[in-house]
A and B are shown apart, each in its own frame.
Chain A
Amino acid sequence: MKKYTKQFITALLFMIGLVCILLAASYVTVPKNNDPDSGIEQIDANGVLGEKPGTVDVLFLGDSEAHSTFVPLRIWSDTGYTSYNCGTGDQTLDYSYTLLKRVTKNQDLKIVFLEANAIYNLESKEILYAKLCDMLPVFRYHNRWKTLKRDDFTQKPEYTWTDPDKGYRFITDIVPCEEPEYLDQDYTDEKARIRPVNLYYVKRIKKLCDKKDIKLVLISSPSTSYFTYKRHNRTTALASELDCEFIDMNMMSEELGIDWSKDTRDEGSHLNYAGACKTTDWLSEYLTQTGLLTNHKEDPAYASWNDALAVFEDILEK
């Protein structure tokens, strides 16, 4: 017994020592800013960390469907509401949750849109690894050993950079969809399956939103590739289970006026900027109707948003 106790204590002390060393390594390797040269992961999405505290009201989470569909600066231009698009390619829901947690530390969000594609298409693989990276960032940023400077050993992270497009992926290419009649597929009452891990994270996202008094909305971007009635049915049921709203933009094609010969960049999988303008305009109207948001356009504290819009409009004109 004495032998086992000694071995257990040795193992415990070893683990404590190891965690301390990895924490120290994490302190050194974690990027000290969030600008493109800093080495931070998912630069565009993490640009939200550089926004002034308490200035972002709306957040978009999800995969490439999210960052192709919602244009924060257009919402700003139309309504004066501040939003940020944290969509990233192949985003897994555990990462959506991580981003939401990061953002809610400094921002007083009013509405979070979770793009529903991520609930079905992606599996939150390697959860343990992702969690480990969150707890001990050295696992995520270990490769920064190549660019470490003296300041990395002493400085604390300070995020000062924000994405000029507020996370939106600006693409104007047109690759028309050859089969735009995707809603004509056979209707079914069946429901798609949501993997338990994804369901777990959707619930955690909802719980965090409730805790922070944030309205969670599930939303489906128009996509001829990913829409199915099974998914529509399951998301509708999920929204009901979670007691939140579900907006399926696929069911609003006439209202939105999506023209699949012009509004997609890759044969219907994702919208291009022209398509995103249509969905964003509808969303601006929706946001206004919620009555939860304030128009900050004339507020000097939000002057940087007008500067960002000016730059964005310059790019559009070019």
Chain B
Amino acid sequence: MLTITTLFSFTYIELLVLAIIFYELFSQKGRRWVLLLFSYLFFYLISGKLICYLLFSTLSVHHFGIWLDDVQKEGKQQLKAVEKDQKKALSAKFKKKQNLIMGLAVVVHIGVLAVLKYSPFAISNINTVLRLLHISYSIDIPDYLVPIGISFYTLQAVSYLTDVYRKVIPADRNLLRLALFMSFFPEIMEGPICRYSDTAHSLWKAEKINYWNFIAGSQRIAFGIMKKLIVADRLNLFIKDVYLNFDNYDGFIIAVAMVGYTFQLYMDFSGTIDVALGSGQIFGVTLPENFRRPFFSRTISEFWQRWHITLGAWLKDYIFYPVSMSKRVTKLSMLAKKKYGNHVASLVAGSIALFCVWIANGIWHGAGWKYIFFGMYHFAFILCGNIVQPTVIKTAQRLHIDRNCLWYRIIQIIRTAILVCIGELFFRAHGLAAGIKMFRKMFTDFTFATLRDGSIFTFGMDPKDYIVLGAFALFLLVIGIIQEKGIIIRDEINKKNVVFRLAVYYVFILIIVIFGAYGADYLPVNPIYADF
């Protein structure tokens, strides 16, 4: 079986090239099968027999979708036939039936995820409680093999079913189309988390590969490989060592590792997403963007609108809105409005929903207290932001500070980046306790000694590695500034003459080949988000 590092290996490229060749050999109908077969082949190569979970999920989504659809249609027909005074009762009856089906579908899908991913964590906590109560009984902690990508395709499944339930989309009776939506190989491992309405039909169209799509897709893949190989994998040795043996390092090294890990995670995750989006584009499928220059964010709230966008959008649509618009929260909000006014009323509804979103966000990332802390950390900052925002605006007005001037924005961006880095420190640490110790060390044991004696350059990265990282960060900054101005760089390159374009491609490829952290001197690194 292949290791999942193969997304950035020649094996993935081989698979992609083969998929492209076979795709081009067949008619539209055959092309759909090629995509599905290659998707299952890829999943089998990285997960082996655990592919049965994906197959089960696909069949179950198909079945529940049709069931919901049938009930909705039956309800509609019966409603037409009954008298006006009976409509309300009948409608409620069918609503209840739909709720039951939806509830069952969610229990099945989230249940599989919960058992495989979260039951060991839950049981270990139960055992801790039993121990604290001096009860000698303990439950054996199960050790399940979890299929790669389950957190991603489960969210896709739930979003599909919810959209059918909400009648946003009709249920798909075509199992092949649904299977393709659930398993499309470039995005099965790390997302982006797609909606049925975004990708299912463009996948099903299976259009012939277009020259410009091929070029643009390849450019995107190259950029993703560049991020992953030049930055993320280069940082790996240093980050891994510092986080594992933080007791041996001073606060300065920990601070460098904290910033380094945030950079690594961004490059790793967005690089993988670039490869997925580029691969999708080659097949004429526009997968949703997952990043929009998150480190230009001025607040934590904005950061999460630019980072892992598809997860944020999923949580907003399927948790935030349902919670904030639920009867109980609306009632509470009305009560607050009467007593304390509009601002507090909106805060109450928003905060309850936000709390649920961030608990879900934390838990989605993994089974552990540090992930729950990670979620609550961001919840706290977003909530504080919401609370103090009117005061900040008023104060700025009184002091005649233009909140959109450059220096103010830069301060906000730096502040947000620091807060994000601290959050990622806890996210990466080996447990919450380790995260707290590391955070404390940055204040109690801070010294530049390792920088002065040069020993910082002996922990897996030498000065030349730091120069490469610095140069790449600068390159990303320039690209980011250009993109923030609304300029699409790839379009600009494609407008130039062929000599210029070729020169750009050659330089990029040569940079990846020369400065990539691959081969005998480095360890291949699994894409980080594949573990979540």
Residues of A bordering B, CB below 8 Å = 7, 10, 14, 17-18, 21-22, 25, 29, 41, 126, 128-129, 132, 138-140, 142-143, 145-146
Q: List which B479-532 residues lie within 8 A (CB) of chain A.
A: 498, 502, 505-506, 509-510, 513-516, 518-521
Cross-chain contact of B502 among A14, A129, A132, A140 (Cβ < 8 A): A14
Q: Say yes or no for B144: interface residue by CB 8 A criterion.
A: no
Cross-chain contact of A25 among B10, B14, B514 (Cβ < 8 A): B514
A29 contacts which chain B residues (CB < 8 A)? 514
B211 contacts which chain A residues (CB < 8 A)? 7
Given contacts A7-B211, A10-B498, A139-B519, contact A145 B506 (CB under 8 A): no
Cα(A14)–Cα(B505), bound, Å: 9
Q: Say yes or no for B138: interface residue by CB 8 A criterion.
A: no
At the interface, is chain A mostly helix, strand, loop or mixed? helix
A128 contacts which chain B residues (CB < 8 A)? 10, 14
Cα(A110)–Cα(B462), bound, Å: 45
Cα(A139)–Cα(B10), bound, Å: 12
A146 touches B10 (CB 8 A): no
A129 touches B510 (CB 8 A): no
B510 touches A21 (CB 8 A): yes
Given contacts A10-B498, A143-B519, A143-B521, contact A126 B509 (CB under 8 A): no
- Shortest distance from the beta carbon of A6 to any chain B beta carbon, whole Å: 10
With a 10 A CB-CB cut-off, give which of B502, B505, B513 has the most chain A CB atoms: B513
The tally of CB-CB contacts under 8 A between chains A and B is: 44
B519 contacts which chain A residues (CB < 8 A)? 139-140, 142-143
Cα(A129)–Cα(B519), bound, Å: 10
Q: Say yes or no for B464: interface residue by CB 8 A criterion.
A: yes
Cα(A96)–Cα(B9), bound, Å: 22
B10 touches A41 (CB 8 A): no
A25 touches B520 (CB 8 A): no
A25 touches B464 (CB 8 A): no
Cα(A233)–Cα(B61), bound, Å: 50
Closest 10 CB pairs of A and B: A129-B10, A128-B10, A146-B464, A143-B521, A142-B514, A145-B514, A7-B211, A21-B506, A142-B513, A126-B10
A132 contacts which chain B residues (CB < 8 A)? 10
B520 touches A140 (CB 8 A): yes
Q: Say yes or no for B197: interface residue by CB 8 A criterion.
A: no
Cross-chain contact of A129 among B9, B498, B506 (Cβ < 8 A): B9
Q: Say yes or no for B397: interface residue by CB 8 A criterion.
A: no
A to B CB contacts below 8 Å, 20 in the list: A7-B211, A18-B506, A18-B509, A21-B509, A21-B510, A22-B510, A22-B513, A25-B513, A41-B520, A126-B9, A126-B11, A128-B14, A129-B10, A132-B10, A140-B519, A142-B513, A143-B519, A145-B514, A146-B462, A146-B464
Given contacts A126-B9, A129-B10, A146-B462, contact A138 B502 (CB under 8 A): no
B513 touches A138 (CB 8 A): yes
B10 touches A142 (CB 8 A): no
- Shortest distance from the beta carbon of B236 to any chain A beta carbon, whole Å: 14
A17 contacts which chain B residues (CB < 8 A)? 502, 506
B9-37 to A contact mask, C-beta < 8 Å, 1/0: 11100100000000000000000000000
Cα(A129)–Cα(B516), bound, Å: 14
Cα(A10)–Cα(B502), bound, Å: 10
- Shortest distance from the beta carbon of A289 to any chain B beta carbon, whole Å: 40
Cα(A129)–Cα(B513), bound, Å: 12
With a 10 A CB-CB cut-off, give which of B505, B510, B515, B516 has the most chain A CB atoms: B510
Query: Which residue of chain B has its CB nearest to the CB of A41?
Result: B520
B513 contacts which chain A residues (CB < 8 A)? 22, 25, 138-139, 142
A25 touches B521 (CB 8 A): no
Cα(A128)–Cα(B16), bound, Å: 14
Cross-chain contact of B515 among A14, A18, A145 (Cβ < 8 A): A145
- Shortest distance from the beta carbon of B57 to any chain A beta carbon, whole Å: 30
Cα(A140)–Cα(B211), bound, Å: 32
Cα(A9)–Cα(B510), bound, Å: 22
Cα(A283)–Cα(B506), bound, Å: 53
Query: Which residue of chain A has its CB nearest to the CB of B506?
Result: A21
B505 contacts which chain A residues (CB < 8 A)? 14
A126 contacts which chain B residues (CB < 8 A)? 9-11
B510 contacts which chain A residues (CB < 8 A)? 21-22, 25
B14 contacts which chain A residues (CB < 8 A)? 128
Query: Which residue of chain A has its CB nearest to the CB of B516?
Result: A142
Cα(A139)–Cα(B516), bound, Å: 9
Cα(A142)–Cα(B502), bound, Å: 22
B502 contacts which chain A residues (CB < 8 A)? 14, 17
Apart from the given pairs A18-B509, A142-B513, A146-B464, 13 other A-B contacts in the complex at a CB distance below 8 Å: A17-B506, A21-B506, A22-B513, A25-B510, A25-B514, A126-B11, A129-B9, A129-B10, A139-B513, A139-B519, A140-B520, A142-B519, A143-B519
A21 contacts which chain B residues (CB < 8 A)? 506, 509-510
Query: Which residue of chain A has its CB nearest to the CB of B509?
Result: A18
A25 contacts which chain B residues (CB < 8 A)? 510, 513-514
Cα(A138)–Cα(B464), bound, Å: 18
Cα(A138)–Cα(B502), bound, Å: 20
Query: Which residue of chain A has its CB nearest to the CB of B11?
Result: A126
Cα(A126)–Cα(B15), bound, Å: 12
Cα(A126)–Cα(B3), bound, Å: 12
A146 contacts which chain B residues (CB < 8 A)? 462, 464
- Shortest distance from the beta carbon of A144 to any chain B beta carbon, whole Å: 9
Cα(A142)–Cα(B512), bound, Å: 10
A41 contacts which chain B residues (CB < 8 A)? 520
Cα(A146)–Cα(B505), bound, Å: 23
A7 contacts which chain B residues (CB < 8 A)? 211
- Shortest distance from the beta carbon of A275 to any chain B beta carbon, whole Å: 29
With a 10 A CB-CB cut-off, give which of A22, A29, A146 has the most chain B CB atoms: A146
